[in-house]
Chain A
Amino acid sequence: MSILPFPSFLDDIKEKGFKRAVFEGVDDIVKSITAGMNIQDIREALRGEAPSRRPNPRLQPHSDGFWLHMRPSFFHKDMTGVYPTFRLGWLSTYFVFFETITGMFLMVWYTPSPQIAYGNMVAILSNVPLGQLMRDLHRLGAEAMVLIVTLHMIRTFMTGSYKKPRQFTWFSGVILLFATFFLSFSGYLLPWDQLALWAVTIGASMVEASPPPIVGETLNLLLRGGPDIGANGLLRFYLLHVLAVPAILFIFTGVHYYKVIIHGHSLPPQKENIGEDTAKRVPLDKRVYFIPDVLTSEIMWIGVTSFILVVLCVWFYHAPLEAHADPQVTPLGTTAPWYFLWIQGALKLGDKVLWGIIFPTVVLLIFFAWPYLDNTPSRRYADRRFALIVCFAFMSSFTVLSYMGTAEYGVNTTADQEIFYYMAHEPAHNRMGIILPVPFEQLPAGFYTTREFTAEEGMKESAIAALNEALYGTELGKQLAEKLKTEAHNPAFNLDATNIRVRPVPQAEAPRLAYVMELFEKQVAKEDKELYNGWGAVLITDNQDNLKRIDIILVWEAIELENGQPVLDENGNVKPILKDDGTPVYNIAIDHVFIHRDAAYFMNY
């Protein structure tokens, strides 16, 4: 008899005793959450035992639950190893969620506006506990996702899994691949640093090449929100990154998964007869049930992957944050993100429309159309020589094109700019000029030259004396002082009026500076054709108590150039340009950086 006017938990206690009533209550809740499995079922599954009741409770979550209804309830035994899937599909899916979660964390501290976006980045790094880790994970996760999705596609191609009846699964997969690319690319702009601005500027300018011009210009305008990327462009990229592209990605992830349920996982090619698809007809003895084997295996894989990512982000990787975006300053060595380098490489082959738009579009169309074009029935490797050749040809040409896309390939930079970049470029792409990490204490004020390191041992003093001779009170000295004053804004230094003289690098006091000067000398010597009779110098001045100014100076004799390359005579020598009186014409180039005691360049790179 109930003590309340309706049946209640208290009645259960009365009837069964407290312990049993509570256990059954909890058991019911667990069963609702798992859509069918009670505590005993879960325990058996985790112990690797056979289910003790019929019908098999481990199938019920697949039929009654939301999450598992998109997973098959059993796999073929041959599909549960590392080969043939390498778990790449599952990890791709996992990264969708991984990126969503870390991304939401970052969204809390981010405003898509050029005025504050960079400040937000700094705040995430300086004022948000775990902010740096989250940003690193998000960024590294994005790179890993691009890599894994690409590998997943290559694997699918290799095993011929796109063949009938899975053509559309492949098709939706290509959509997901490009959604992943674009998701990663649109995220590039958000930190609003130099890396972001210029990588995206390069990417977006490809769009501009779309023929006819009216289409290209309109698309470009739509994407950038103006002639240049500014507030509108940033907002658009942000919305693409957090709303539009993820929406496409989620929808097609659903489509992709549904197709996998419908068609099952394609077996390793050699396990089936040619032209047969037995994925849905798994013999009872070949079945591996999703619960528990596949499920525990998948959870283990995401555990391992996440652990690797966390380890990398704690010790080995930090998401880059360069200087604030500046449309006026184009950094040397600007490239598109690595997965778009192949387009940048292709662009170096010639016409912007042909290589920047038509070529990638054709590649995209081939990707989409491939399963419909290749309708040979066999999935065996031996029968698919042509397809595999195509695959390897694609992979190697993409590798070559990507290499061609890097700044090292086919970009003509003058020798002096190369050397300045080598010596003093801002930290970018996790590299920086070699003089930046020199400890502050090892930058004693003074004027040092590479001539000291060109000279033989014992001749160093006289080499320096000769240079002093050549500089002070001479035309060259005046030219250098003038150049320093007007172009480098360093009028404090005046070769005629001060007593600053070139002096040897104090080895004991500044070994690191000496080492850098030696590298500097090697670099100048390497360019001895273009920098004819050239020498370099480093001028260190105190600017504030904890701030030094470092001017890097290159002086060389002018030679005849053609398209930026030295003109050589029949003996392979350069042709110097001389004044009427036979003296050489000097070229001087100066670059400078400031180094603060606490800048600690060596710490983060």
Chain B
Amino acid sequence: MLQRLLIDRIENRILVGITMFVGIMILIGWVAINEGERMRSFTNQFEARSIEFGAELFAANCTTCHGVDGRGIGNFGPALNSPYLFGHNYFASINNQITAINAREAQLIAERDALMQEFVNANDARREQIRARRDEIEAILTGEDGLAAERAAVFAERDNLLNSLQPAIDLGYPQPTVNEDGTVTSVYSRLAFLEWNGSLESFIYTTLVHGRPTSKTYWENAQMVSWSQQTGAPLRDDQLRNLTAYIMNWDKGNAWTIEDALAVRQYPLVPVAGGGEMVASAPPVGTDVDAIVAQLDTVVGDPVRGEQIYNNQQRSQLGARLGCGGCHLNGVAGPAHNAKWDHFFNERSQLPQFAGYTVQKYLVESIVNTGAYIVPGYAAGQMPGDFANRMSLQDMADILAYLHTFSTVDPYVPPTPAEPSAEATPEA
């Protein structure tokens, strides 16, 4: 029986074999010509799946600070579902209209002026023509349906837009400015503000990988931490890509509305107040510790400004960002700042090399001459040595005043080695 199943005649074997191979080639060819469409469809589908995975990760990890709808939570995290992040310019079309009106006006005025020049030497017939054209131009410039009216309408629309955007501006959307020519300049894009040269996607991805190392200093309640496994955090690279895809999926392109800007609950906070003050307004403090300590008596330190300088929210009087808080937080990268004062008073002053030091002198020395003493447990050479040239006497006084707010002892009394802080008098 089974013997019969064999294709007995050689011609038939060859025929079947050839048919099969031709069939395979036709099929592969058929698949090949449809590959473009198939690959596109797979890509679409894969991106959609990626967004789904990203949504899952966002719901589990990000909503506590950025909100379920991605519109931010006050003092916790900025909106991601925001026209500002995606760089939508609400004034783009109005600016175009105004620029067009201005250009048309300039062109007409130039034409009129040229005609007037010509008028002087023209014959009567030509003068008649010129008069007619001039009236026409005047009508276009100032008539009822003319450019002036058109401009007024556009300006009204612009002011309307500015007004309706006002609640968002109050919340932190960058303040647009109206230029002399009537156009509006605004830093409508987060990336432009940060002078980020890459794509938005790379910005989001990079933020996810590295977090914002000093964001705790200007966000009261939360810090953007790193999420990447590269840095010991929980998410794999593909998960970060999925999250990025999900966040990018909020993009509405040109369809962002004013409502979107108004729906945002929290715009990004700006870490440094007074950006652009790069001019030095006081001489540097120098490296002479004793001289600085002596001069400190002549100035009054402001702890509030001291905190701002410390935490990078304000520049020093020499226009530098000192960023002390970047390292001196919780004793991770540098010794902690909050217990410093008492710590010196109680323990460090017991060391023989600090005999006769006040806390103030110790701190001044630590800042302007960073290598003088290395706190055990921290590596030498980590703290930059140029603070003497980046801050003024007033800055120094302010920072010391800020540090002293954590303290219970008097800054100006050298500690008595035998009786530490228990006897110390709190500052008034």
Contacts and interface: CB of A to CB of B under 8 A. Distances in A.
Given A130-B28, A598-B45, 20 more contacts: A46-B14, A48-B11, A81-B6, A82-B2, A118-B238, A119-B238, A125-B46, A129-B36, A130-B35, A133-B28, A133-B31, A300-B13, A303-B17, A310-B23, A314-B30, A491-B68, A547-B51, A592-B59, A594-B52, A598-B48
A595 interface: yes
Given A296-B13, A490-B59, A598 B47 contact: yes
Contact of A307 (B3, B10, B24, B48): B24
Q: Which of B19, B24, B63 has the most CB of A within 10 A?
A: B24
18 contacts: A82-B3, A127-B43, A129-B39, A133-B28, A296-B14, A300-B7, A300-B13, A303-B17, A304-B20, A310-B28, A324-B236, A489-B59, A489-B63, A492-B69, A544-B250, A595-B52, A598-B44, A604-B45
Interface residues on A, range: 35 or more
6 closest residue pairs by CB, A with B: A303-B20, A596-B48, A83-B2, A598-B48, A300-B17, A48-B10
Interface in A530-547: 543-547
Nearest to A132: B38
A489 B44 CA distance: 27
A603 B68 CA distance: 30
A320 B56 CA distance: 22
Contacts of B7: 297, 300
Interface in B309-328: none
Interface string A125-142: 111011011000000000
A492 B39 contact: no
A304 B7 CA distance: 12
Contacts of A311: 27
A115 interface: yes
B42 interface: yes
A428 interface: no
A323 B46 CA distance: 10
What secondary structure prevails in chain A residues at the interface with B?
Answer: mixed
A293 to B, nearest CB: 7
Given A296-B14, A543-B55, A324 B21 contact: no
Contacts of B45: 598-600, 603-604
B237 interface: yes
Contacts of B20: 300, 303-304, 306-307
B31 to A, nearest CB: 5
B5 interface: yes
B60 interface: yes
Contacts of B48: 546, 596-600
Nearest to B38: A132
Contacts of B2: 81-83
B3 A83 contact: yes
B49 interface: yes
Contacts of B246: 544
Contacts, number: 143
A593 B46 CA distance: 16
Contacts of A597: 48
Given A83-B2, A300-B20, A489-B63, A314 B31 contact: yes
B249 interface: yes
Contact of A596 (B41, B52, B68, B236): B52
B270 interface: no
Interface string A291-312: 0110011011001101100110
Interface in A456-513: 488-492
Interface in B95-136: none
A122 interface: yes
B10 A293 contact: yes
What secondary structure prevails in chain B residues at the interface with A?
Answer: helix
A80 interface: yes
A296 B59 contact: no
Given A119-B238, A129-B39, A597-B48, A306 B55 contact: no
Contacts of A488: 59
B291 interface: no
Contacts of B14: 46, 296, 300
Q: Which of B13, B56, B69 has the most CB of A within 10 A?
A: B13
B69 to A, nearest CB: 7
B10 A544 contact: no
A549 interface: yes
B27 A314 contact: yes
B53 A304 contact: no
A299 B7 CA distance: 12
Contacts of A133: 28, 31
A56 to B, nearest CB: 17
Contacts of B35: 129-130
A490 B17 CA distance: 61
B32 interface: yes
Interface string A555-573: 0000000000000000000
A311 B68 CA distance: 47
Q: Which of A122, A132, A292, A544 has the most CB of B within 10 A?
A: A544
A306 B24 CA distance: 7
Nearest to B64: A489
Nearest to B12: A300
Contacts of B47: 598
Nearest to B229: A115
B52 A593 contact: yes
Contacts of B52: 547, 593-596, 599
B224 to A, nearest CB: 19
B16 A303 contact: yes
A374 to B, nearest CB: 26
Contacts of B44: 598, 600
Interface string A317-348: 00000011010000000000000000000000
Contacts of B19: 303
A249 to B, nearest CB: 25
A299 B341 CA distance: 90
B62 to A, nearest CB: 9
Contacts of A490: 59, 68
A326 B234 CA distance: 11
B369 to A, nearest CB: 46
Contacts of A126: 39, 42-43, 46
A540 B43 CA distance: 26
B3 A599 contact: no
A492 B24 contact: no
Nearest to B47: A598
A595 B35 CA distance: 26
A378 B46 CA distance: 60
Contact of A304 (B16, B31, B69, B252): B16
Given A126-B46, A292-B10, A491 B63 contact: yes
B251 to A, nearest CB: 10
B24 A296 contact: no
Interface in B61-109: 63, 68-69
A83 B48 CA distance: 52
A594 to B, nearest CB: 4
Given A599-B48, A599-B49, A303 B21 contact: yes
Contacts of B16: 300, 303-304
A439 to B, nearest CB: 13
Contacts of A592: 59
Given A303-B24, A491-B63, A544-B250, A297 B6 contact: yes
A479 to B, nearest CB: 20
A505 B314 CA distance: 58
Interface string A568-605: 00000000000000000000000011111111100110
Given A129-B32, A300-B16, A48 B23 contact: no
B6 A48 contact: no
B386 to A, nearest CB: 40
A545 B81 CA distance: 12
Nearest to B23: A307
B35 to A, nearest CB: 4
A311 B28 CA distance: 10
A261 to B, nearest CB: 23
Interface string A234-277: 00000000000000000000000000000000000000000000
